[in-house]
Each structure stands twice: as structure tokens, then as C-alpha cells.
Amino acid sequence: MNNIHIKAYAKINLTLDITGRRENGYHDVKMVMQKINLYDDIFIEKNNSGKITLSSGRDDLPNDENNIAFKAAEVLLRKFNIKDGIHINIIKRIPVAAGLAGGSSDCAAVLKGLKKLFGIFINDDELIKVGADLGKDVPFCIFENATMFSYGLGDELSVINSLPQYNIVLAKPNINVSTAWAYKMFDVSETKVHPDTRGIIDAIKIKNRLGIESRILNVLEYVTAKKYPIIKEYEDFLIENGARAAAMSGSGPSVFGMFINKSNADMAAEKLKKNFGVKEVFSIITL
């Protein structure tokens, strides 16, 4: 085998709670995360150059050692003393800097792809540990499970039963948000309403749609949506157009609405695109 293709799936946060801040500046979180059928295509090809190269055809992405997917290859090849060269080509669909774990998912795909391409003997726990050192969302992206509870620093995970399938309208406003900025600005002491994490996990386990939808909440909205009111405008618009719940994903600015009916979701996506002049709008499903 000289080449491999992997799909790197985006995620949304059904809930995101921040419960404290450690002395080292990192935050303790509780999140219910869900993979969605929006993905980047990752192609990896062996060569005899002895070098790692990366391409994406995008000006808004680093195409060198500053790309987390490049770093993943660098770490794994060095760890197992692999001297072959590789070329990574990323066909990007997941919006950049959008709270959707696009970079983390690309990173995870490279780790999984290299393991298979080179027949690397590394168990899942060790691969996840390598991923956690590269980014806190990477372990979730390595797992095949679509719905998971993430806690601690975001790299501790437990499996939840699969979410009942939803049609998702996902839209990224024409702004970028720094994850580091959002977490830095968040003040736990000022946050009065937190997600019912236990409640939504229980609701997912018994596929109680109303119980799930009523508990969709992301505390980082108190920071990001305060600075960028367009986020709340998107959410309100999606609810007005039939979404059963709507929220921001991650640190933002992406917003998603949850629909049962595909035609309603498609119609809401088209209206959102037309009314707000937003380019990155997707009508997709949960995995």
C-alpha cells in the first residue's frame, strides 16, 4: 500500500460547560460532542523524499509545519523511526476557525492513516495519547464513536449511545473566533446557567428527543455571542424556521440547528444563506 484516503469528520457541541480553571491556565470542561456528516478528505501518499509535505490549495491554512496535520505526521514518523517521505493533501470542506474541530479531525485522520499505511504497531490508547499532546479535541476525533462525553481538560472520554439522527443546518458567520480568546474571557463565577450534562446523556441513552433538545447549551456563547450578536440572530432565525434546537458549537462562531425533516432543513439553509449573505452553510446529518 502506497497511499490512503481518510475522511476527517467535523463535530458539534450539543453541550459545552466550563466548571473551573486550573493554576496552569487550562480549563476543566464537560462536553457532549457529536460527529456530523461534514468532512475533509485526507490523502496520504508515500514517497522516497524522506520529507513531509502538505498541500490544501487554501490560503487560510498553513501548508507547512505549522499545520497540526503536518505536526501529527512529524511526531508519529519520528516516534517509530520511519524514514520514508509522505505527502498529505487536504481537501478542505470544514470551515476554518469555526468551533468544529476541523484541524483536530485532520490531525486525527493523519495519525490513523499513517498507522494503517505503514503498519505501525500502536494500540488505540497510545495513539490517543499522542493525539492529546497535539490538541484536546484530537482524541475524540480518533475514536470511531459518533457521540461521546468529554471531560477533564477535554481529552478524557466516555462513549454514549448513538444520538437519534437529526438533520443539521450548520452555518459559519463571516467572522473568525480565537478559541484561546474565548476561554480566556470566560468567567465561571459570572455564569449562572450551566448545561444539564447528566440529563442530556440520559436522554440520549433512551433516545428522548425532547429531553435532548431542551438541554442543548454552550456556556461559551456568553462570551462569543456577546461580542458577535450575529450568532444569536442565526440561532433565532433557525428556530423561527423550524429548528427544534439551535446553539453555537465550540468557541464559535459556527451555529447549528437541529431538524427532524430534511426538506425543512434544506429550506432553512437556503433562507439563511439568502437572508444573511453567508457563504458557508450546510444541510447535513448527524452520524
- pLDDT average, residue stretch 210-224: 97
Residue 286 Cα to chain centre, angstroms? 13
Per-residue pLDDT at 189: 81
Predicted confidence (pLDDT) at residue 121 exceeds the cutoff of 90:
yes
Q: Would the CA dihedral through 60, 64, 68, 69 be positive or negative?
A: positive
Residue 99 Cα to chain centre, angstroms? 6
- Cα–Cα distance, 265 to 10 (Å, whole number): 18
Of 186-190, 195-199, 235-239, the least confident: 186-190
Of 21-30, 89-98, 126-135, 248-257, the least confident: 21-30
Cβ-in-10-Å burial (0-12, 13-18, 19+) of 30 comes to buried
Confidence of residue 38 (pLDDT cuts 50, 70, 90): very high
Per-residue pLDDT at 156: 87
Residue with cell 452555518: 171
Packing angle, helices 262-276 and 230-240, rounded to 10: 140
Closest CA to 276 of 197, 175, 185: 175
- Set 40, 106, 137, 155: catalytic member: 137
| 71 catalytic per annotation | no
Per-residue pLDDT at 20: 83
Predicted confidence (pLDDT) at residue 23 exceeds the cutoff of 80:
no
% of the chain surpassing 90 pLDDT: 86
Per-residue pLDDT at 124: 87
Q: Angle CA(190)–CA(192)–CA(197) in degrees, nearest 5?
A: 120
Higher pLDDT, 150 or 191: 150
Per-residue pLDDT at 210: 98
190: DSSP letter: G
Please name each of the domains of the chain with its CATH number.
Answer: 3-159 (3.30.230.10), 167-285 (3.30.70.890)
Predicted confidence (pLDDT) at residue 60 exceeds the cutoff of 90:
no
Confidence of residue 192 (pLDDT cuts 50, 70, 90): confident
- Set 11, 30, 35, 115: catalytic member: 11
Per-residue pLDDT at 266: 98
Predicted confidence (pLDDT) at residue 262 exceeds the cutoff of 80:
yes
**Paired strand residues for 259:** 167
- pLDDT average, residue stretch 166-189: 92
% of the chain surpassing 70 pLDDT: 100
| 60 catalytic per annotation | no
Per-residue pLDDT at 133: 93
- pLDDT average, residue stretch 273-277: 94
